[in-house]
Structure formats: C-alpha cells, structure tokens
Amino acid sequence: MKTKIIVVTGGVYSSLGKGIIASSIGRILTEFNYNVSMQKFDPYLNVDPGTMSPYQHGEVFVTSDGAETDLDLGNYERFIDRDLSKFSSVTSGSIYYEVITDERNGKYDGKTVQVVPHIVLKIQERITNLIKKNKPEFLIIEIGGTIGDIESIPFIEALRIFSGNYGRKNILFLHCSPILKVNANDELKTKPTQHSMKSLRNLGITPNILIMRSDKDLDDSTIQKLSWTCDIDKDNIFVSKDCKSIYSIPKMLYDQGIIKSISKYFQIKNFKKGSLTKWNKFLETVQNEKKYKAKIAITGKYSGLADSYMSVIESLKLASYKVGVEIEIDLIDITKITKDNIEKKLSMYNAILIPGGFGERGIKEKILVSKYCREKKVPTLAICLGMQATCLDIAINVMGKKDANSEEFNKKSDYIVFNEKTYKNKSFGGELRLGNKEIEIVDNTLASKIYNKKNIEERHRHRYIFNNEKISDFEKNGLIFSGFSKKDSVVEIVEYENHPFYIGVQFHPEFISRPNKIHPIFEKFIESMKQKK
C-alpha cells in the first residue's frame, strides 16, 4: 500500500491540542495494526528547538537518534508507542539552512533561489525521505501554528503541490478548529471556523475532516451548519471535547467513528481489523479510583511553564496510574529556595524530583535540595543536572570539599566533579552527548532491582560527565555507582546508601516512558512514595 498521509492543521488560535488529536489518530491506527509514523512541521526559523529557552517553547524532546525536537514528538511517541527519528522533526529554519547551504555550495547552478520552488521542494523532500526510510502505512503530518500565519504558508503550498503529484486520494486534510461561545447564554459560534476553512481553501486546500474543539457535545443543528458552511459531510465532523485526561481522546474520536471516515476517504479495501481494547484497558487505569495518594515536588527553574517538564510530568502520571496512586504534582521555583525556608517549602511532599537544566542559575539551590532529600530520607529522583547536583552535595557537604564543582560553573575549582566533554554531532546544535547509549547495570544495587536486567538503553542530552578519577572518593562517602555507559564508561546512575530511595541518573528516563511501557524508574519511584488515602 502506498503510504497514506493525513495532514493536520489548526485554525483560529493556537494551543488547540491538535498535537494530541494527531497523536490520538496515530494511536487508533496503531491499534488497527497499521505501521504509523508522524512528522511535525514547525514554522519557526530556529534550525531546531535545542537552543530555545524552555520558557519560550517548553521541553526539548530528544529522539533515540539524538535529534533535539519539539515536545510534540514526545506526545507522538507516547501515543503511537514507536521511536521516531530526526526525520520526524522539520523546522522552517532547517529547510532554509539547507537551501542556503546548497546555494553557497553552488548547487543551484546560478539559478535564482526562491521559496517556490526551492523551499517548497525541500519540504517535499523531507516527506519523501521519511517515507523512504520508515515505509509507514500511515504518515500523520502536523503543521505547527495557525492557518493564516504567514510563516506556515510554504508548508501549505508544499503540501498542495505534493498532493497533486502524490495522488489526491492518498492525502487527507484534517482541520481542527474551536467552537466559540459568546453572550451570557453561551451562544455557539461557527463563524471563526468558517473563516479558517475559507483561508485554507484560498491556499488551495480543501479539508476532508473537521474536528471541533469544544467543552461539550455539539447539537445537530450546529453540526449541520458547520457542514453547509464548511462544505464537509456531517459524518466527517467530529468533536474533541475538553476532558480530564488527554489519554481519553483516542476513545472519544474512535467512538464517533473516525476510522470509518478515514478508511472511506482512502478507499482502502480490506481495511485491517482492530479495536481499542488494549488502549481502553490502559484508560481504565487512568480513570480508576486510586487507593493511595502522594504529593510530589518538581524543583526546577522553569517552574512557571509546566510544558518545560512535559515528559517528566507525563511519566509521573503514567506510573501513578499503573501503581494506583493519585498524585498531586507541584512545580516549585528552585531559585526561591533558601536554607531558611526549605523545610517550610518541601516538608509536605512525599517525594521530590530534581529535574535537568542548563546554566548556573538555581544550581546552588539544587544542591541544597539534594542535601535536604538525602538527610531527610525523602524519596528522590534526580535527573541529569539534578543528578549532578546530588553528587556536588555529597562532595561539598559530606566530603567537605567546599570548592567542588562542575566545569559548567567553575573551571578553576580545585575539586572538579564533572568534566566538560565536547561531542561531535551531526546535529546543528553542536556539542552535546545526545540520544541513546547502552548502559551496563552494576549487580546488587537499587538500579539492578529497578531494571531487573543487566543491559539497558537510555536517552541523553548533556555535555558534562562525571570525573571518573573521583569515583573512589565518593564510594568511601556513601555514593554507589550503579550504571556505566558501555562504550566509554561514563557514570550513568548513582545511588545513596542507607536511604529508602535516592537515585540520580545522567540520562532522561522521561523520554521513553509510555502508556504501554511505563519506565521502571518512574514506577519504582511512585511505589516508594505511596501513602494510604
């Protein structure tokens, strides 16, 4: 079967949740045993989101092959339960960068280089490259931004031309749009949707499926009106209602018959059989009444924007569903923590997660939190820079090496615990240690109990690595080294002895925890904190 492509656009305003809608359709098709891949087109000019502040753009997600991508890819992977790659992340910046580099290298042979055709062809090349590489049966492409933005026009133009060549019956356009409420009596307005549909048509795209975002079901007359004004069959209009958990959206769309619309559009003979049984089983664990409860603090410096910790938060939630704990997560601004207020700020939590980060702001406070967690025996999971802070705490506060530091913050320290190492990456961002690395677990450690296997693979995004010359100093002072990378012996996991649960990891376990594959570290972390209700 030629890869069928579903293009997802959004109208009227941003943050409609079209990423979750796209992911949900991916999930449904996966449950029907189709091989699904996903691709995000981001209209901004950054070559990748690697250097963007989490405050601007939320978390930077990392794929197994080490691409630094938009956080939507995290949702895609969690929903379709499949590793994506650098081919799935396309920004305008990366497209222009390649075209301009080709131009400088004389590849255009003296021609005038233009948005049409050169940029547009490069965009199309990204689609065909992904298809060639992964050979998916379905490819879902999400176009970032809102229809009407000037930035996304080259993507729309690329797809318009592409659909002619690829075969119109092989590409389905799906538009997401909100229903608006006005007046005291909440009158429903379809006009903004009509306008965004019209804008799409002006660009040469006629959507085939419309998904309305709404806080409740839409009555028949509203659907009828949308159908007439937007020129879409009533059967092809769906509602994605506000709901408590994003994980209920696949069921919601499935129950309304979206599979029928998709299979009918593509005229696939012998559409594979399937059901949402597996997903619905997971959904039950989401919705079940929980026997236990726990309060967790995430102590990071991007606490003003929950999206900065999206995968961490989702991983905690996913594990809590499996273990049966109702969790409450608070984002605590690490920079506001002091020696004097730490007890007051953290004593009500059953567990503390110290997340990753870059740069010096907040590092002193991260060390303070590490000390607090170690001494008070609060269950602790420290990730990446968090793990580095736990090691610095031990050096400074247990070993008495007052000047101990990471080269990230003080290259002249007389006790360097983390060395800078530069890595050669093909990625534009440069010199981080990125993507999957194989790790060997040390026997008879907390890590070996958690993983219950010797060899694992985890995703990375950091530059500084533990200074292995100091291992024995730390071992004498209660730190256990329980995982090393196989290739180059980089310290990957540390634990503190005589503590119920204190583990630091140099990698990011949050990038690989999924509904059907809950990461054991998160599962055991949640188990360590559960309290009877």
The residues of the shown chain that bind ligand GLN, judged by CB under 6 A, are: 356-358, 384-385, 408, 461-464
Beta bridge partners of 138: 4, 36
Shortest Cβ 360–ligand GLN spacing (Å): 10
Secondary structure (DSSP) of 245-278: -GGGHHHHHHHTTHHHHHHHHHT-TTPPP--SHH
Shortest Cβ 167–ligand GLN spacing (Å): 43
Shortest Cβ 65–ligand GLN spacing (Å): 17
Q: Which helix (H) or strand (E) holds 525?
A: helix 520-529
Shortest Cβ 427–ligand GLN spacing (Å): 15
**Cα distance between residue 29 and residue 288, in whole Å:** 25
Largest Cα–Cα separation, the chain: 75
Nearer to ligand GLN, 279 or 525 (CB): 525
Nearest Cα to Cα of residue 446 among 486, 470, 398, 481: 481
The angle at the Cα of 149, spanning 144 to 153, to the nearest 5 degrees, equals 75
**Cα distance between residue 110 and residue 99, in whole Å:** 14
Nearer to ligand GLN, 48 or 408 (CB): 408
Q: Which residue is nearest to ligand GLN (CB)?
A: 356
Q: Three-state SS for 459?
A: strand
Q: Which helix (H) or strand (E) holds 386?
A: helix 385-393
Sign of the CA dihedral with 69 first, then 70, 75, and 76 last: negative
**Cα distance between residue 471 and residue 482, in whole Å:** 12
- List, in order, residues 6 or more apart from 204 with CB less than 8 Å away: 156, 157, 160
Helix runs in 2-144, H state only: 18-31, 54-57, 72-80, 92-104, 120-134
Beta bridge partners of 419: 465
- List, in order, residues 6 or more apart from 184 with CB less than 8 Å away: none
Nearer to ligand GLN, 178 or 362 (CB): 362
Nearer to ligand GLN, 18 or 301 (CB): 301
Beta bridge partners of 212: 177, 239
Secondary structure (DSSP) of 492-511: EEEEESSSSSEEEESS-GGG
Q: How far is CA 68 from the centre of its chain?
A: 10
Nearer to ligand GLN, 99 or 432 (CB): 432
Shortest Cβ 490–ligand GLN spacing (Å): 11
**Cα distance between residue 525 and residue 506, in whole Å:** 16
Shortest Cβ 303–ligand GLN spacing (Å): 15
**Cα distance between residue 18 and residue 175, in whole Å:** 9
- The amino acid sitting at 267 is Q
Shortest Cβ 458–ligand GLN spacing (Å): 13
Nearer to ligand GLN, 49 or 207 (CB): 49
Shortest Cβ 438–ligand GLN spacing (Å): 19
Residues marked active site are found at: 384, 508, 510
Nearer to ligand GLN, 156 or 494 (CB): 494
Nearer to ligand GLN, 37 or 63 (CB): 63
